[in-house]
Structures are given as C-alpha cells and as structure tokens.
Amino acid sequence: NYECEGLNVLYAGNPYREGKNPEGYVRLSCADNVLTQDLLIKKFRSIEWSRFDEHQMFVYITPGGRMATKKCFADLMNELTLKDLRNPIKPEDLLLLSGTTMICDLLGQVLFDEDEVLLAHSPYY
C-alpha cells in the first residue's frame, strides 16, 4: 500500500478548479492533466483528421524518430535555446524516443554497469 493512495483521496475530495475552487489541490504525481484540457480539446477539434494515415496514428514512431521531426527539433534547439553554438545540432545526431520507459531502458543500457540501480519517480509508467 503506497502513501500516494491517501493523496489521491485528498485530491479527489478537493480538486483545484480555476474560479470555482482556487484553494483546491493540484495533482502533480499523475499523468492525468485536466488543467490544459480546454486547450487540447479546442486544438483536437480544429484538426482535419482525415488528412492523417489512421494506420500510423496508433502505433509507436519509427525507432529513433523520423528525419522531418528531428529536423524540427534541431532547428528549434539551434534557434531558440542553444544560440551561437560552434557546432549546431544536426538532425542526424538526434535520437527521438517515445515514453519514459523506453528512455530509461536505453539510458540504463548505455550508462550503467551490471548490478547498478536507477531510482525513478513514482508513478513510473
């Protein structure tokens, strides 16, 4: 039995709601995020979903990421966050992964020796 069960009960009994319950609790230990729900719903409803290949929408990305996506990330990092780098980030040097589990698994294989331990937050998916 985890202590967070009590926190879930506490949150459920008094959740934060802008305007309605500004003194309520905000849940930070969960993947559920209703604070941006209105923005996400508006964006999703504005998308013409028929333009997308439905067979690719429900599966994981190409291992390592698609080059077009890597280029977007490289351009963004070079332009906004890492200006004036002597050697700008190149798309082919990036590795894009989907999800914390995949990232921790890969880092564990690359960075740690046998019998070493990785401490991760809870909940961990």
59 phi, psi to nearest 5 deg: -125, 165
pTM of the model: 0.49
72-83 pLDDT per residue, tens: 999 999 988 877
Tell whether the model's pLDDT for residue 29 goes beyond 50. yes
Residues 81-90: tens digit of each pLDDT? 877 788 899 9
> What's the rounded Cα separation, in Å, for the pair 14 and 9?
9
